[in-house]
Chain A
């Protein structure tokens, strides 16, 4: 197994309704990533593409459609996919292309254009449920998250106004992110007063639907050292899927995140994650999910994350900054691209190149995580400078 580094990265702006085609978004991110490390497409040996349901972009086999936009023309090219967790699976998929010794360089592109699904991408989620046992109930995506949030709150006695602090924190962090779609200074009261979508989920508890793309360049050690003075190493990867029969699980705790995290920690040689991880980007498509994932990642004791949140532990200047980018709630949530945006945020933080978003204390070890499917998949990447 060889060491693999991220040497370059690029993100497009995230929009509600972009004028670019999905292919153009992928091209833009791929070009930015290559330019950032002064590499050319001819230096790239293989391409991997991460993008979530075909229904969003409105193209069947959309991996094929995106291939030339992603720079894969006449190259080995493969798409991978685990629903919402795709974005953080992307660097993992690229990682073993290089770690296996098959390729020395790999371009990883993640793209999503949700606005193609008309009138609203939520329609694409109507067909994610089991055709026999669930679809006849006409569930929407927000319903099942309302169930999960309720269970999470009930188990630990968390209050809605406490969880709303996540939206306040992330949207404020996003003000400094150049790609951000929904940054802003809001208050807990704004969250509580926003429209109730399915109790206890309010409108401001949910990340927006977005169009956008992100890309990174991976290189084997001997190439990375030539390309850059500041390679960021992928030291641990983990991913895991729980059963599709989500009704059979207790939803208060994400086992799948813990299993994936333990796999990544073991590979990276991390024994005490809450001490050894300096900055984290847990997936936050809903406010409660950030806390749910922080507990699953073993970064906070179970049932204690809200207390720590209230004490400012997860703020940008706190002990363990989480979502310093602004996360899905602030920057936007073009599913696969969000996960890779989080990986790129850790990349920039560890390099000390995050600008106004830079967390203090020169972090050397960070983590990005995503989640998806039917509350079922965890993907985790641990990176070091």
Chain B
């Protein structure tokens, strides 16, 4: 592809379990202002905006109505992607390539603490005829998947618990994280059983926050910043929404999305050519399943690698140095935004105490959560 596109500005509010002091519009405003200052632009310089929102998460029908004002996008080209933040990033990427304007802004938001009936809402996403009458809790779906994954790959319960210990520990040094804590494997295994084999600590608790990212094509990016972070590859894919037709052991969506991104980036051996990854870990086993789907580990290898400390910050292939969803919090449609934010901070050398040494290429991956099979991947380089 002829034109290169870079991330030139990032802004976030950080992520907290509750935010009673600010509205969702104020969250976005804060993140947007920080991103515009970081990129050295004003809203009038922007050619197109993309917001990320799902109606029922926002508490509005037609939630996109409330996207333009706090972004400075009034009477400008803006629309909403009800998907993952990385879907929106891909849209912005394609709009720049299509000549809509050299600069594009992507916004994502989570105000999960506003939701009174989160679990019921997720059940409401299931097929109303075939799946909803089963009255399954979303956690039961995850537990079924976890069981199948452990069975197919020989991954142990302890290896999954190790992911929780690692990520919550990494989060201790991340000023943006809302759920950091130092615990051991026994603590995870002995926490309350939610749906066998999933315990309370295996599930990422929700957080609030906003992320805004500014993209620019090559010439503009070089003029704006000394540290452009290039988008080398991006991919997204939806498998099947039905519970009865999906592959329970493997994350096919992550595999196809990653291969699309690898092809674009010219990556053949992801484990060697990528230095670290921010991978979706809404449930502990998901981190392992996603690593294997994306060929970063062979099938059945992610568990032992984690157990031996290979995915620690000091390990050979650091995974979720930010603390991931388990340490930072589940941000729903913003999950991808948090991953992108962390990869950019690492590649810019701005990750503070969690900074990895000599990293040049990072991968951010997200998944849309139960009950979906939709995943996104983006590969970034400095």
Contacts and interface: CB of A to CB of B under 8 A. Distances in A.
B368 A97 contact: no
A96 B95 contact: yes
Contact of B77 (A21, A100, A101, A263): A263
Contact of A61 (B76, B260, B368): B368
B121 interface: yes
B237 A241 contact: no
Contact of A73 (B91, B97, B129, B240): B240
A333 interface: no
B81 to A, nearest CB: 6
A127 B60 contact: yes
Given A101-B97, A263-B77, A68 B241 contact: yes
Interface string A72-113: 111111111111000001000101110111100000000000
A241 B74 contact: yes
Interface in A94-152: 95-97, 99-102, 124-128, 130-131
B61 interface: yes
A97 B94 contact: yes
B68 A241 contact: yes
B58 to A, nearest CB: 10
B238 A74 contact: yes
A64 B64 CA distance: 18
A259 interface: yes
Interface in A241-258: 241-245, 255-256
Given A81-B80, A241-B74, A255-B75, A53 B127 contact: no
A127 B59 contact: yes
- 7 tightest A-B contacts by CB? A100-B97, A100-B94, A60-B125, A96-B98, A99-B98, A77-B238, A60-B124
A371 B368 CA distance: 29
Contact of A64 (B62, B74, B374): B374
Interface stretch (B82-90, B265-273, B337-345): B82-90
Interface string A33-55: 00000000000000000001111
B242 interface: yes
A288 interface: no
Interface of B: 1, 54-56, 59-62, 64-69, 73-83, 87, 90-91, 93-95, 97-100, 121-122, 124-125, 127-129, 235-242, 245, 252-253, 256-257, 260, 368, 371-372, 374
A65 B68 contact: no
Contacts of B100: 96
B69 to A, nearest CB: 5
Contacts of B237: 74-77
Contacts of A96: 91, 94-95, 97-98, 100
Interface residues of A, number: 59
A74 B252 contact: yes
A130 B65 CA distance: 10
Nearest to B80: A81
B68 A243 contact: yes
B90 A78 contact: yes
Nearest to A22: B128
Given A81-B81, A241-B73, A373-B62, 6 more contacts: A59-B128, A67-B241, A80-B91, A81-B82, A243-B69, A373-B64
B75 A241 contact: yes
A64 B124 CA distance: 12
Contacts of B239: 73-74
A9 interface: no
A23 B65 CA distance: 26
Nearest to B93: A100
Contacts of B242: 68
Given A64-B368, A74-B256, A81 B64 contact: yes
Nearest to B256: A74
A242 B1 contact: no
B55 A53 contact: yes
B160 to A, nearest CB: 25
Contact of A77 (B60, B77, B91, B374): B374
A78 B80 contact: no
B69 A67 contact: no
B65 A1 contact: no
Nearest to A117: B61
Which among A78, A243, A376 has the highest number of chain B CB atoms within 10 Å? A78
B97 A61 contact: no
A131 B371 CA distance: 29
Given A75-B238, A101-B97, A128 B79 contact: no
Contacts of B79: 80-82, 89, 93, 239, 241
Contacts of A125: 61
B236 A77 contact: yes
A240 interface: yes
B125 A83 contact: no
B341 to A, nearest CB: 21
B125 A59 contact: yes
A73 B253 CA distance: 10
A52 B66 CA distance: 15
A324 interface: no
B92 to A, nearest CB: 10
A80 B80 contact: yes
11 contacts: A67-B238, A72-B238, A74-B239, A74-B240, A78-B236, A80-B80, A100-B95, A242-B74, A242-B75, A244-B65, A372-B62
A78 B81 CA distance: 7
Contacts of B97: 1, 96, 99-102
Contact of B55 (A1, A55, A65, A244): A55
B24 to A, nearest CB: 10
A200 interface: no
Contacts of B128: 21, 58-59
A1 B98 contact: yes
Which among B55, B76, B253 has the highest number of chain A CB atoms within 10 Å? B55
Contacts of B94: 96-97, 99-100, 102
A244 B62 contact: no
Contacts of A374: 62, 65
Contacts of A212: none
A58 B132 CA distance: 12
A321 interface: no
A373 B62 CA distance: 7
B332 to A, nearest CB: 10
A63 interface: yes
A238 B98 CA distance: 13
A57 to B, nearest CB: 9
